[in-house]
Amino acid sequence: MAARSYNLRVYPGFRAVTLLCLFVLYAPLVVVTIYSFNASQSITNWEGVSLRWYADVFTGPESEKFKLAARNSFVIALIAASVATTIATLAATAIIRGGRFRLRTWSFGLISLPLMVPEIVTAVATLIFFNAIGFDRGLLTILLAHIAFCIPFAYLPISARMQGIEASYEQAAQDLYATRRQAFTRVLLPLMMPGIISGFILAFIVSLDDFIITNFVKGAGVETLPTAIFGAVKQGIKPNIMAISTMLLGVSVVMVALSWLISRRDNTK
């Protein structure tokens, strides 16, 4: 065999493209974060570091609007993620630990459906549906719509986790006369916790982030953070929007990092 002077796995330039890729992904976020600390009234000139726009978000003329929107967003995300995580955990138990049955593939397809239908189509369909059954638009319609599209995001880490847990744990429990319910609550659920928490966090972020569906199903005057930000941005990008964006960005990054760390923890050993 001829000795090769190069490593077959390595292609010149691929490392540079990867670094470019990371640069492209992070540059806009870093720039907005930096400019959110700008002391200037204008978004173009840099006049030194200041927290004035963060103060403006909490005490400025638009602060009431943003606080209310933030409260709506967090309450909806909390409830939607809790409900979606519960539904997804039960469904994953049936699909991964319920043997083979005809509805199995169909159920998995149904759960993935919100990922396949384009968001704008889901938004239109949900609006039409609430209109057809005479359901007034408001916080409740937003919540219901969010539960639906949060289910697949909660399901994916939960089912991945459940695939990784040996059946022998519950079988051992049942051999020792645990009922099926006890095997579920005392053995499977604790082992599942990292997956469930990570599913909950992803569902929470997805709900917190949604703009398109919320924009369609929210009633007049009801705002969540993304719809309030969108409304403000339509008037032009202002420094206080960059401060809000940076805070929301921080919440997402911290939660994803948390989810990642938790899902890597292996408590079956």
Q: Which of residues 64-83 bind another protein (CB under 8 A)?
A: none
Output the smallest distance, CB 196 to another protein, in A.
15
**17 touches another protein (CB under 8 A):** yes
- Which residues in the 115-144 window bind another protein by CB under 8 A? 115-122, 124-129, 131-132, 144
Residue 140 has which token pair?
Answer: 């409740």
> Max Cα separation, the chain?
76
Give the interface size with another protein as a residue count (CB under 8 A). Answer: 110
Instruction: State how far the Cα of 5 lies from the Cα of 99, in Å rounded to an integer.
Output: 53
**85 touches another protein (CB under 8 A):** no
Helix %, strand %, coil % of the chain (to 5): 75, 0, 25
Per DSSP, 2 falls in state P
Instruction: State how far the Cα of 174 lies from the Cα of 182, in Å rounded to an integer.
Output: 9
Residue 131 has which token pair?
Answer: 């209109």
Instruction: Say if residues 205 and 154 touch (Cβ distance below 8 Å).
Output: no
Which C-beta is closer to another protein: that of 10 or that of 176? 10
Contact pattern for another protein over residues 22 through 61, marking x by CB under 8 A: x-xxxxxx-xx--x-------xx-----------------
Instruction: Say if residues 246 and 36 touch (Cβ distance below 8 Å).
Output: yes
**258 touches another protein (CB under 8 A):** no
**112 touches another protein (CB under 8 A):** yes
Q: Contacting another protein (CB under 8 A), which of 79, 93, 182, 262? A: 93
Which C-beta is closer to another protein: that of 31 or that of 193? 31
